[in-house]
Amino acid sequence: MAELTYRDALRTTLIEEMDRDPAVLLMGEDIGVYQGTFRVTADLLDRYGPRRVIDTPISELGFVGAAVGMAMLGLRPVVEVMTWNFSLLAMDQIVNNAAKVRYFSGGQVDVPLVIRGPNGAGVQLSAQHSQSLEATYGHFPGLFVAAPATPAEARGLLRTAIRGKDPVIFLENAALYGMKGEVPDGDFAIPFGQADIARAGKDVTIIAYSRMLQVALAAADRVAGEGIDAEVINLRTLRPLDLRTVAASVQRTHRAVVVQEQWRLFGAAAEIAASIYEQAFDALDAPVERVTGADVPMPYARNLELLAVPHEEDIVRAVKKTLNRE
């Protein structure tokens, strides 16, 4: 166990996996000479050379697609998208090739591909650089979607992603790169589809992932001062989605608040809320509440941006609403 930042948990896991398996290679824009936009790949070009740490042109469609081809041939590419916003340029490759080629070939190929990078809002990056795309990618069968919320999860989920046989949409968060936490050593890995109960409680279940987990935990602390004992579930992966843990929690607490940074319509929270209704309807004492980003392109002005993303107070308000304590 060591204390590492989220960034270093990712970086050291890349090193461990590259040392372990020569089939693992890295690709992306400015990951080598430039050391990586968020320095997740710092020093790795020197360590592994240009064949394994490939600086690509600004060409997402091209290099993501090339990585799919490499994966089909047995390599294990880990592709950095500078931010997930840019993955939209590669969407045909991700959706029509990576996600489906195993299926339409009748199972003749594996696609052990990880695409990783920061997802969600930063600070004043405005409309084109602030999107949360988890529901977009969560929609497609054939993909896995992981969203680590802590340094330990960054390591554990990345290791599972790299050693798997399937394309993984690996959603990091720029605000988390500097976060410190205890990270297990050795071959520590977290299986996909196992949510974590980050805080046990009995009055209401708050469901979150990625950066929103920290916001949800802060909200839970805050309502604790008012005598509300909130349980917080950290999903860790959105596909597969661990509905069993969610439903079991709601069976105990009878109330649920789902938190997401992305837009409300057709978002992850809608899927989770619908699943709660399907699996725990009789247990509910109140409608499921959704806390989401505002339904607008992200504005630049800091005050407007702050209005567009969910905060602790929004979660507190939703929790109280489920308890009729507004």
Partner 1 sequence: MREPSRTRESASVKATPLERAPAPLRDAVRWYRTMVLARRFEEEAERAFRRGKIGGYLHVYSGQEAVAAGWLAELRSDDIFFTAYRDHAHALFRGSSPDAVMAELFGKATGVARGKGGSMHLFDVARGFYGGYGIVGGHLPLATGAAYALRYSGTDRVCLCFLGDGAMNTGALHEAVNLAGVWGRDGLCPIVYIVENNQYGMGTSVERSSAVTGLAARFAAYAIEHERADGMDFLEMRAVAARVITQVRAAGRPYAVEVLTSRFAGHGAADLFQPYRSKEEVAKAKGRDPIALLEQRLREAGLLSEADAKRIHDDAARVVQDAARFAEESPEPTPDALLTDIHGLP
User: Which residues 180-219 are close enough to bind partner 1 by CB under 8 A?
Assistant: none
Query: CA–CA separation, 66 vs 13, rounded Å?
Result: 23
d(CA 229, CA 135): 29
Query: Residues near 128 by Cβ (< 8 Å), separated by ≥ 6?
Result: 85
For the bound state, the minimum distance from the C-beta of residue 67 to partner 1, rounded and expressed in Å, comes to: 6
**Nearer residue to partner 1 within complex by CB, 32 or 142:** 142
Between the alpha carbon of residue 265 and those of residues 4, 169, 261, the distances in Å are 36, 21, 12
DSSP 168: E
CB of 56 or CB of 85, closer to partner 1: 56
Q: Judged by CB, which is closer to partner 1: 64, or 183?
A: 64
Binding mask 127-166 for partner 1 (x = CB under 8 A): --------------xx-x---------------x--xxxx
Least CB distance from residue 15 to partner 1, whole Å?
19
* Tokens of residue 177, six digits: 């790169």
Closest to partner 1 by CB, 74 or 287: 74
Q: Which residue of 21, 46, 92, 295 would you call a contact of partner 1, by CB under 8 A? A: 92
Least distance CB 34 / partner 1 (angstroms): 16
Task: Compute how many residues bind partner 1; rule: CB under 8 A.
Answer: 45
Alpha-carbon distance of 79 to 28, in angstroms, equals: 6
User: Shortest distance, CB of residue 140 to partner 1, whole angstroms?
Assistant: 10
Q: What are the residues facing 169 on neighbouring strands? A: 115, 145
By CB under 8 A, residue 227 contacts partner 1: no
Task: State the minimum distance, in angstroms, from the CB of residue 267 to partner 1.
Answer: 23
At closest approach, how far in Å is the CB of 21 from partner 1?
A: 13
**Residue type, position 28, single letter:** G
What string of DSSP letters covers 41-82? TTTHHHHH-TTTEEEPPS-HHHHHHHHHHHHHTT-EEEEEPS
Any idea what the Cα angle at residue 167 is, between residues 164 and 168, rounded to 5°? 85
Q: Which is nearer to partner 1, 213 or 241 (CB)?
A: 241
| Residue of 78, 101, 154, 233 that binds partner 1 (CB under 8 A) | 101
Stretch touching partner 1 by CB under 8 A, among 80-88, 95-103, 274-282, 318-326: 95-103
* Per-residue mark of binding to partner 1, 289-318 (x: CB under 8 A): ------------------------------
Cis amide prior to 240 (ω within 30 degrees): yes
b/e burial code for range 35-64 (CB count within 10 A of at least 16 → b): bbbbebbbebbeebeeebbbbbeeebeebb
Smallest gap from Cβ 54 to partner 1, in A, equals 8
The tokens describing 324, both together, are 């009729």
What letter does residue 37 receive in the DSSP assignment?
T
Report, as residue numbers or ranges, the catalytic residues.
60, 129
- Beta carbons within 8 Å of 107's beta carbon, 6+ residues apart: none
For partner 1, the binding residues in 23-82 under the rule CB under 8 A are 25, 50-51, 56-57, 59, 61-70, 72-75, 77
Nearer to partner 1, 163 or 321 (CB): 163
Sign of the Cα torsion 188, 193, 197, 198 reads: positive
Site residues for partner 1 per CB under 8 A: 25, 50-51, 56-57, 59, 61-70, 72-75, 77, 92-93, 96-97, 101-112, 141-142, 144, 160, 163-166
